[in-house]
Structure 1
């Protein structure tokens, strides 16, 4: 499984030019929580659909536990993203987190207004979409975040990889400020638990 197909992509919205939620408000929202949990539905670039549970612990940590029959696992932690294949006894594929668009929202301090990361930003009365890209490394692809207002809430994100493939993750109700142990995001610990070498 390729990392971009496991960590997000895009429903392209035709949104009016006027944004409902400002860039500053979005930054404040992302900086307003350190931990979060939500159920998710993922739509892959080939049209297949999977579901699971997402855990986030900023900075730099996320975990995607996929439901059966997939039963896959993706962990972001320690500066790496590891994709575990449930039917293989081989070590996971690993990628630097810094080379994935997910890194842009897992940073310790998200400052979208001054970063040069905002590619597109628009909304209407029901939702706002903002597309982010690392200005120094556009080859890493981009991430589109979709929010609803009152209060500002992240509803989905879409990752477009360097080849143009898109993966969409639609979130259920997100709980923030939840207790999440560091072991959930520890790739070496997961490897040991599975009897795999690092």
Structure 2
């Protein structure tokens, strides 16, 4: 099964992790898991610009829209490629293909963890890592019921808590880093923005 190309080389993540782990624990308080859970649960709608580093080292950019729970839209600036999460499915509209979108269950990707109706990072065996460098807090999480689908590392700035990056590791071990800028919360999006059916019809499928 082909997975979304949201995945970057482990080497790109290594410098950040080395920095986080090397700094003294007393450098600053980590953002508590309860606060991170509260922040994520409070995100109803979000838009942001994103830069994505793929598993082969290539970079892409575009616009991201989130409507929790369960809906996400990645618009890639370079072409008309689009990734939609909606109705429990993920659909990849490949701009280079004249075929209908490839689809698979959202529950089979770690992105499901941030799109879930209720996020509780205190859940047993969910959090695999929780570190800080004094400025950023990184939380690595997995679905404790389905660890085989991979994991997601969420990176936050503090005061106020804000999501800055995530790194997804899929079920094959491939990784992608997505960095966010110009994040805006509380906007109003039409349901059609996340509709796989509407997008398929628009593209003639």
Match of 2:70 among 50, 60, 74: 60
Distance across 2 between alignment mates of 1:22 and 1:112: 10
Structure 2 residues not aligned, in runs of 5+:
none
8 Å Cα contact 1:63/1:73 also seen in 2: yes
Shift of 1:175: 0.2
- 2:151/2:168 contact within 8 Å kept: yes
TM-score by length of 1: 0.92
**Bigger RCO of structures 1 and 2 (CA < 8 A, at least 6 apart):** 1
Deviation at 1:124, TM superposition (A): 2.6
Q: 2:183 aligns with which of 174, 179, 182?
A: 174
4+ residue runs over 3 A deviation: 16-19
Give the C-alpha shift of residue 2 in structure 1: 4.1
Separation of aligned partners in 1, 2:57 and 2:41:
32
Structure 2 counterparts to residues 89-168 of structure 1, below 5 A? 89-168=98-177
Equivalenced residue count is 194
- In structure 2, what is the equivalent of residue 22 of structure 1? 32
| RMSD, matched Cα | 1.7
Is 1:40–2:50 an aligned residue pair? yes
Per-residue displacement from partner, 1:106-146 (whole Å, max 9, x unpaired)? 01111111353111111131100000111111110100000
- Cα gap change, 1:32/1:149 in structure 2, threshold over 3 Å: closer, same or farther? same
